[in-house]
Structures are given as C-alpha cells and as structure tokens.
Amino acid sequence: MADSSDDGATRRFDLRPAHPTEQAVGIEHYVTDVDGTGGRLRRSPDDFRVREIERIDPEPIDADPGAYGHVVVRATLRSWDTNDFAGTLSDRLGISRHRVHWAGTKDKRAVTTQLFSIDGVDPAVIPGAGAASSVDGAADATGQKATPAIDEADVEVLGRLGRSIELGDLVGNEFEVRITDAERPEHVGPITDALATFRTGGDAPDRDEPGNPTPVAVPNFFGQQRFGSRRPITHAVGLAIVRGEWREAVRIYVADAYDSEPDSTQDARAAAGDCFDDGDWTGALDAMPNRLGYERTLLHALERADADPGDDAAVFREALADLPENLQRMFVHAAQSYAFNRILSARLDAGLPFHEPVAGDVVCFADAGAPEEVALPDTDRLQAVTADRVDTIARHCERGRAFVTAPLVGTDTDLGDGDPGEIERRILDDLDLSPGDFDLPDPFGSTGTRRAVLVGTELSIDDHDEPTLSFALPKGSYATVLLREYLKVDPIALG
C-alpha cells in the first residue's frame, strides 16, 4: 500500500500485486484490493462487442463521385481481423488492398462495428450494399454485376468522402463485454466502488439506483496485447533496438520462448537459439516451423548475408528491415509503452495521485471537438504544472478539461520536474534509456509524445451470474486494462 505524506501530495491506494505475466510488461499492481470475479472473456465472439466512435460526416451517396470519390461503409464483423476483412473486401471488388482504409484495427475474436472507406468503386457492387449483392453473380437493374456477400459481415453504405478515412477520425470505442464462468460475480459491485474511489481520490461512493452508470477510472496502462498476449517480447526487441543491440533484437524475436507457447514451438526456439549462437542459420531455419513466418524471414536474411554471429550491427539491422514496416515500428512503440507502464507503476508505489496533478507534472488538455460519449486527451496541448498553478489545474482535471500525463519517451521528450520527473528519470535510467537513443533511422526512430496516466469512463453493469459491462474509452486505451481489475486472472483469459 502506498504511503500518505503529511503535505497531502500523496494518496493512499489499496494495491494488490498484478499477475506475473502483467508484471513482465511493467504492470505491477491492481488498484482494487478485492478478489476478482474470476472467469474469462470471449467464450464466444458475441461476448465482446466493440463499436467505433468516429468523427465522420459523409456526404450523401448521390454526391458527385468526382469530388467525393471514397465510399464510406459501416461494417459489423463477427470473428474478422480488420486487415483480413479489408483484404477480402478488396479481392471481392477486384481492387488494390491500398484502396480500402479504416481508422482503427479491431480484435478478431469479437463482434466489431467500424467504418471503412473504399476509393473509386460503385456503391452498388459493394458486398452487402443492397439488392445487387443479394444473389451471387446476379446483375442489378442497371446491368451491374453483383458482388458476392462476405460471410459474418453486415455492410451498410453511409455516403461519400473526398478523402480516405484516417486514424484521426477515430475518437474512441464503445464496449459491451460479458464475463463468463465467473466464480465470484457478486464482487463486481465492490470492485466498481473501488474504481469509483480511484477516479476521484475520495471516499467510496454511495450506492446509486441499479442500472445507472458509475464514473470509474483505472491507470491508463498499455494492455497485454501491446506486447504479445501469449509471448510478450515485442518491448524486449524494441529495447534492444533502441540500445543499438541489433543482434540481440533478432535473437530475442527468434529464440526467446514462453511457457504459454506450444511445447513444439518452445523446442523449435531452443534449437534455433543454439544454432543462432554458432551462426548456423541453415540449421536454425531447419528447426523453425513454417508457421513462424516472421522468424523464418529473419533467418533467411541472415543466411543470405552469411552473417557473422558476433556482429551486432548492419547485417542484423538489415535482417529486421525485411519484416513488415508496421511490425518494425511496433517494436519501438512497445519499448516506449513498457517504459510508460513502469512509470505508472512507480507513480502508484509513490502514492502520487492520478486524477489530479502535483508540482512537476505535465498535463494535456481535452479535445474540445470530441463527441460527448468520451473524453479525449489532446497531447499536442501540454502545460507544465508549477507549484503556484497546482490548484487551478486540479480544477480543470476535476471537470474533465485536463489530464495528468507521463512520457512516451522519444527524441523530443521533455521530462517532468519534482517527484513526477524524478520517477520518469529513475525508470529511464533503470532501462538504460535516454530521449536521444530514439534518434534512429526510419522506421525505428521516434520523437515521442505524452499520454494521460488515468482513463475514466461511465460504467453500466447488467449484474447477474454473467455480468455484462458497458462503457466507452478514448482511442488508444485498452478495454482489458479496465476488465483485468474485475477478473484478476491470467491475461490470456482476457484475450
């Protein structure tokens, strides 16, 4: 439990150690000292429903396609990976995958509703767009051939845009999540009360009428998915990259195994690791099954280059360049996320508040253009908190107009002062990181940013043997970071 100081700058939190798998990615605590419900999520995709909150106002579908060439559709998908659906959609339409855009990638094992834009197509031939696609291969009244519908996908044409949908169009997500096989469903109420207290730093709330939303909050950790749910190593690869340890980055990705992987995969990684140490890239390839395609990509690159096993530089960096660019970026982003999680855990240990600032903090202000359903931090609008401004900015935080932040460290990162700054510097020192380390060639370099340390929501609960939680979160925040406080189980059961 965190200590409280005489000057009121710290708060007393009822902390409980996190699951060991979470501790490995920097999440050291639960902030509710109540036994979890147990159980699991996603027994069926219907148990986890996600709907995007967007900032999109398309023109009517009969608007001039010359000026508004992107058709906007809303797709409700069951058990579809977003990338896979976009690929299938483009294949059905006979167009390049690069003409299909979306704002946010969603989990596969869920029912998800989100927008897509499709460049330069006739709306009538979009799968599920109307009568034209009701009969596979049939033609509509104009003679336009229909496009076969896509299984487990309901598609509605909304209108047109003069540009593609982009990441900035996503504001947040609404969730409806059922906890199944719960051992202690009656603990939902006490956990909710504790999260309401954490949001305000005050006393436990009075019980409201059943069904009314409860304001709650949790530390804005990056969830397990950021690092790999079953094999959380992306941050370790990223840390090696940022430190210039290119050989070690490749070795971790290829050879480091986790108990949560199948035995055959663990054995393959061990055999490949032995070959790795000897520079026997052919032997490592022979040990690596075809299903581990990215690992084989790295080993093929090393085999072609006949790499010196002791070389920490160019050849291993070039091998990483053979991976998809988004995966290369993910490594460094995961390293930043791990450091951020460590900073939040240290802030909890120190008893510093999350809902309001102390001197030395840096806050960001709310995005005034965000919809009412979700409070969206605008990390382009930052302000350092000096001792004479603490009370004023605390009032902004209380009203949802400002948020305390911590760094996602990069070359342009300015660290805080006072106690928050001391925590940030201590964690970076412990990780042997500094902002200048992120001055790397694309796609590995990063200027950094800041991120709110607290994420709040209005939580509604259908409280029965299988509790269903409904809430909305801003983009970039993880539903599982809220849900983990309720279940308190191995993170694999959350995925």
Active-site residue set: 107
CB 49 within 8 A of CB 111: yes
Question: What's the rounded Cα separation, in Å, for the pair 285 and 289?
Answer: 8
Query: If you compute the radius of gyration of the chain from its CA atoms, what whole number of angstroms results?
Result: 24
As a whole number of angstroms, the distance between CA 203 and CA 14 comes to 12
Contact residues for 58 (Cβ-Cβ < 8 A; gap 6+)? 68, 72, 158, 159, 160, 161
Who's near 325: CB < 8 A, 6+ residues apart?
A: 443
Beta bridge partners of 337: none
159: enclosing H helix or E strand: strand 153-161
| Residue owning tokens 């979306």 | 102
Pick from 197, 177, 200: nearest CA to 33:
197
Identity at 434, one-letter amino acid code:
S
Q: Helix or strand or coil: residue 99? A: helix
SS3 86: helix
**Minimal CA–CA distance to 93: which of 143, 141, 139, 149?**
149
- If we measure between CA atoms, which residue out of 100, 70, 99 comes closest to residue 85? 100
CA quadruple 365, 217, 173, 209: dihedral positive or negative? negative
Interatomic CA distance for residues 353 and 362, integer angstroms:
13
Q: Which residues contact 405 (CB under 8 A, 6 or more apart)?
A: 361, 362, 363, 364, 377, 379, 382, 450, 451, 452, 453
Residues 6 or more apart whose Cβ sits within 8 Å of residue 253: 233, 237, 294, 295, 298
Query: Residue 260 in 3-state DSSP?
Result: coil
Burial of 220 (0-12, 13-18, 19+ CB in 10 A): buried
